[in-house]
Amino acid sequence: MADRYLSLTGTAPGRFLARRLGLPQPAQLKRWSAEAPALAGDLLHLTAGKSDLDLTPVLDRTGLTRGENQPAAVVLDATGVRDVDTLAEVHAALHPVVRSVATSGRVLVLGSPLDPADHHQSAAQQALEGFTRSLGKEIGRGRTVNLLRLTDATAAESTLRFLLSPRSAYVSGQMICIDAGEVTAPADWDRPLAGRTALVTGAARGIGEAVAETLARDGAHVVVLDVPADEPDARGVAERLGGTALALDITASDAGERIAAALPDGLDVLVHNAGITRDRRLVNMPGDRWSSVLEVNLGSVLRTTDALLASGALHSGGRIVTTASIAGLAGNAGQTNYGASKAGVAGLVRALAPRALAERGVTVNAVAPGFIETRMTAAIPLFIREAGRRMNSLAQGGLPADVAETTAWLAHPASGTVNGQVVRVCGQSLLGA
């Protein structure tokens, strides 16, 4: 369903009315397209504290022009901030330029991992989280603010490219950690998944379909998995993308084994997108509504992941991307079952990620969508739907493509240093951190 309020406030009379009534004035976000794959404008590189990062080669490959005109993106290297005094340099660097950042632009703060042996450094670096989240809530005009903790710019190239591009339009207020380690750049950054196989569950429609489309755009052969009842739709998506349809109930006890049998050459990317809701307050929730949601959203993810890792069907160096939700991170009335299942997904990611990487070279991450414009949210009553759309720093709902682009970044072959992360795709929802 179209966001008529967003369309209205994009007109001169609508902007005037919103200003007079003190209503939100969302900006039309600039998302990726083949015609406009990069942000339009300069990239401004600033520093606070003494930094040892060599950012120049990576920043020169983002597609942005280095300059000091109206910036489309500002990168503040604050990895050298170690105490309260150098925190003042963060203010001094950004205070003069924040107002000039282009509509739908980016502010990216780079920080260091916390040093447990230095409580002054840890305090100063932790302060950057509160700073970026607060700036994200006030900066407006469709601009995003994120914090990236890293020690090596080369290891973070795929993430820097993502956060400084239109692909991250609905990702704001996030803190992402990059591990140290070697990464292999793809032969073609425009088609990084060429020659790889990706399986997406629940891909016949909605967010899953968007994920399948984006991975196919990036070169993957996509296996579109959905329940047998939706096989015609899944087959249609697969045919359009040059992929393969697989009709399978993901909750089947042998789903993992059947996937492995259907893909004798294995797979490189596993995206757990399938999910259901059965909303009701706990006092009115029968056991079957609880168990069905936990089985689809969490139980099947655990079983299938275990089976594909154990069998070796998921190739070494592969990627697992699961779907959490802000309902699992912040809670939501009437969704104790859904919130429990999605919080469980986050727990799975954090526990499995280090082991899967050490044993198989496989990364495990999650996307956590907020209010995304789908058929499901279109069915929400009007006033609740409008509240869901506006209760984030960008004052609008996201699109399935926003979740898909974030998934594609996590699935990227050069994202091997991104592991154990739960990244909210919510426009910096005002619910939770």
Residues identified as active-site: 338
CA contacts within 13 A on the Cβ side of 71:
23
Is residue 95 within 8 Å of residue 87, measured between CB atoms?
no
Q: How far apart are CA 237 and CA 231, in angstroms?
A: 10
Q: How far apart are CA 347 and CA 337, in angstroms?
A: 15
Q: What angle do CA 94, 395, 202 make, to 5 degrees?
A: 110
**Angle formed by the axes of helices 206-217 and 400-411, to 10°?**
50
Place of tokens 């499995």: 352
As a whole number of Å, the end-to-end CA separation of the chain is 28
Nearest alpha-carbon partner for 367 in 426, 417, 300: 426
Q: Is the dihedral of CA 392, 397, 398, 400 positive or negative?
A: positive
CA distances in angstroms from 115 to 22, 54, 122, 144, 369, listed in the order given: 44, 21, 6, 27, 31
Neighbouring C-beta atoms of residue 381, cutoff 10 Å: 8
Q: How far apart are CA 296 and CA 322, in angstroms?
A: 13
> Are β-strands 42-49 and 65-66 bridged in parallel, bridged antiparallel, or unpaired?
parallel
Write down the H helix ranges in 177-218: 206-217
Is residue 266 within 8 Å of residue 314, measured between CB atoms?
yes
Task: Write out the two tokens for 395.
Answer: 């004052």
Task: Write out the two tokens for 180.
Answer: 């140290």
Is residue 164 within 8 Å of residue 42, measured between CB atoms?
no
